[in-house]
Chains A and B, each alone.
Chain A
Amino acid sequence: MSNVRLSNGSPTLERTDARVSEHPKPSICRSLFGPVDHEELKRDLKGHLQEMEEVASASWNFDFANHKPLKGGRFKWELVDCKDLPDFYSKPPRLSRSSTCTTGNNNVDLNGNHSCVVMGSARQPPADSERCESQMDCSEQCHGQRKRPACNDTATQSKRSHTSSDEVRCINLTRSDEHTPRKSSPKRQT
């Protein structure tokens, strides 16, 4: 249904000026419901993200945390050389405004794309496992299978070392999640 959305182009005239860059009005900067217990929040979020990771792992038969394929799913995973892929998979994005966060994302973004683009969009998403087999052959012909670029390892390592990359790993995860619904209803997203 998303194809239906109108780009509203918001015809209201006042909105054409660029984002105000000055410091936010202090009256708007406020904490609404008292102090946040960051430890608790961290635990909550971690639990949720772990759950999502498990779901994604099961549906892609891939261990995203360790970047290892899992046995016995619908997919057969193989390595590809990143040189065989279009360069937008390895090219850094246009702007890297915030240093650490963004770069962290990129690396994993990249991997996330690898893992799902190769499988998901090389052909029409497989509706069943037989189709999947034939799809594998084709995608091998076209551009081989994914090989993780060097940055991958850094992502895996840093995941353990500090929190911000935790989310990074899960972005990776859910990227593939994003493609999952496509299988059941390919029309939906485009």
Chain B
Amino acid sequence: MEHQLLCCEVDTIRRAYQDVNLLNDRVLQTMLKAEENYLPSPNYFKCVQKEIVPKMRKIVATWMLEVCEEQKCEEEVFPLAMNFLDRFLSVEATRKTTLQLLGAACMFLASKMKETVPLTAEKLCIYTDNSIQPGELLQMEVLVLSKLKWDLASVTPHDFIEHFLSKLNIHHNTKQILRKHAQTFVALCATDVNFIASPSSMVAAGSVVAAMQGLYLKSQDSSLSAHNLTNFLSQIIRSDPDCLRSCQEQIEALLESSLRKAQQYSVSTETKHAEEEVDLSCTPTDVRDINI
């Protein structure tokens, strides 16, 4: 047996697999309680920041998503990094010229939290076109840690998605696609300022419903109709169904507007993007690429 273990030492990323024992109600309830502790303040642009405006958050978020995509980070890294960024900006007035450094530091930390092989400081600095130096990044990292009170274990929408999916009676393969789409929506939401104040559970539930809608899975089983699914999930997250429905609609609107932008962009620029866009017309899987 021990010899066999040695054989597993191949050159791929080693990652933990899902522990299904954790997909229970007790854990879910604790997560619902915990998520509040990690919510950024919804109006930090007005109350805390002097230089930073919503548009800049969008710019830095888009860049961060691109970096995470290109570096093939785990899906959770980007939303987690955005949570760090928002929480930092909720408590600390930041210069415009420091925002990218902050974004890099947040990715640095989120990657360390979630990945077997985390992003390096040097690489992140290259992605800023060397406008920041590794030394600065490390100092910023400590500052972020301190401002977040060293509490980096934010509950992310991804944590909830697994719970929701485990409760749905659908085929494994379908689940896989659904998960992928829902995660894409979560990333999209993380780039948008309107979702800053939304709890992770709400974003996750809205994303799952929107993904289900987008994939036209509803017809097979009446319990999976948008209406029933919304009711079901809103019960789980102890929210009003109307609230969840409006969240879902907001997500769909966001998708539509970013698709439109992406199309304009890809028509006017590269063909590579156009390819992705074709993909997108039938499924929203690649929204994230397009969004860029």
**Which A positions have Cβ atoms within 8 angstroms of B?**
1-2, 4-20, 24-25, 28-38, 40-42, 44-45, 48-49, 52, 97-98, 101, 163-164, 166-167, 170-171, 174, 177-178, 181, 188
Contacts and interface: CB of A to CB of B under 8 A. Distances in A.
A178 B150 contact: yes
B155 A32 contact: no
A9 B27 contact: no
Q: Which 8 A-B pairs have the closest CB atoms?
A: A2-B153, A31-B131, A1-B34, A167-B139, A9-B18, A164-B135, A7-B16, A9-B17
B127 A24 contact: yes
Contacts of B275: none
A37 B120 contact: no
B63 interface: yes
Nearest to A37: B97
Contact of A28 (B60, B70, B136, B140): B70
B139 A16 contact: no
B129 interface: yes
B236 to A, nearest CB: 16
Nearest to A32: B100
Interface of B: 11-13, 15-19, 22-23, 27, 30-31, 33-34, 37, 56, 59-60, 63, 66-67, 70-72, 74-76, 95-101, 114, 117, 120-123, 126-129, 131-136, 138-140, 142-143, 145-146, 149-151, 153, 155, 158-159, 162, 176, 179-180, 183
A16 B16 contact: no
B153 A11 contact: no
B95 A1 contact: no
B129 A12 contact: no
Given A5-B155, A8-B162, A20 B146 contact: no
Given A11-B18, A17-B13, A31-B128, A174 B142 contact: yes
A149 B183 CA distance: 48
Contacts of B131: 31, 35-36
A36 to B, nearest CB: 5
Given A18-B13, A36-B98, 13 more contacts: A1-B30, A6-B159, A7-B19, A10-B76, A12-B179, A15-B74, A33-B100, A41-B97, A49-B143, A52-B146, A167-B139, A174-B142, A181-B149
